[in-house]
Amino acid sequence: MDISIKWVKEISKGLDKLAGLCFFAVMLLVVSNILLRALFSRPILGTYELVGLLSAIGISLALAHCAFQGGHIAVDIVVNRLSTKWQAVINAVTGFIALCFWLPATWYLFKYAHLMMVKGLVSSTAQIPVYPVIYLTALGLAAFCLVLFVKFTVAVRNALADISLAPYVWQPELSDPVLSDPVKKAS
C-alpha cells in the first residue's frame, strides 16, 4: 500500500508541475498581449480562448496534488469532535460518494474528447483543436480519481483497524479441563 501511495504522490506532483507550466504560459500570454496591444496596437488573436483552454488544463492537472495534500476546503467543525474511528468512517463514506461522482464524470470526459476528435471540432477564433485540451482535462481528473481511491482505501483501513472479529469467532475457554489438558483430550 505504501508503494502505491508513493506512486500516486509522484504522479500528482508531476501533474502539478505541468499545471504550473500552464499557468506560467497564461501569465506570459496575458502580459505579451497587453504589451503588444499597448506598444504596437497588435494584440495576439485568440488570447481569450488560449487563456481559457490553458486555465482549464492547469486547474484539472492541479486537482490531484491539491487533493493529495488535503488542500481543498473542508467544513469539519462537527467531524473533528468525533473519535478518530468515526472520522475515518465519515472519510470513507465521503470518499466513496466522491468516487461515485468523479469516476463516471472522468469516463464521460474521455468519451467526449474522443467524440470531439472524430468530429474535428476547433476553437472559434484561434482554430485550435479542442480534443487535446479535453483529453488533458480528463487525464487530470483521472489522477484526481486515483488520489480519491487511495484516500478512500486508507480511510476504510483506518475505520476497520479497531474492529475485532473476536466476538464472532468461536474461541474455546482455556479453563475447560478437556480443552486445556491434551492428555484428557485423547482419552
Q: In this structure, is residue 174 part of a structural domain? A: no
Q: In this structure, is residue 172 part of a structural domain? A: no
User: What's the Cα-to-Cα distance from 135 to each of 69, 107, 146, rounded to whole Å?
Assistant: 24, 11, 16
The candidate with the shortest Cα–Cα distance to 138, out of 128, 126, 146, is 146
Range of the domain at 116: 2-161
Of 62 and 72, more confident: 62
- Which pLDDT tens digit goes with each residue over 76-97? 788 788 888 888 888 899 999 9
Q: In this structure, is residue 183 part of a structural domain? A: no
Task: Look at the block and give the residue holding cell 488542500.
Answer: 71
DSSP for 30-86 reads HHHHHHHHHHHS-PPTTHHHHHHHHHHHHHHHHHHHHHHHT-S----TTGGGS-HHH
The candidate with the shortest Cα–Cα distance to 151, out of 104, 77, 91, is 91
Q: In this structure, is residue 59 part of a structural domain? A: yes
pLDDT confidence band for 110 (50 / 70 / 90): very high
Q: What is the pTM of this model?
A: 0.80
**How many Å apart are CA 110 and CA 14, to the nearest integer?**
21
| Residue 171 CB partners (closer than 8 Å, separation 6+) | none
Q: In this structure, is residue 20 part of a structural domain? A: yes
| Number of independent structural domains in the chain | 1
Q: In this structure, is residue 113 part of a structural domain? A: yes
- Which pLDDT tens digit goes with each residue over 127-142? 999 999 999 999 999 9
Q: In this structure, is residue 37 part of a structural domain? A: yes
> What is the helix, strand, coil percentage profile of the chain, to 5?
75, 0, 20
Burial of 120 (0-12, 13-18, 19+ CB in 10 A): exposed
Q: In this structure, is residue 40 part of a structural domain? A: yes
Q: Is the pLDDT of residue 168 over 90?
A: no
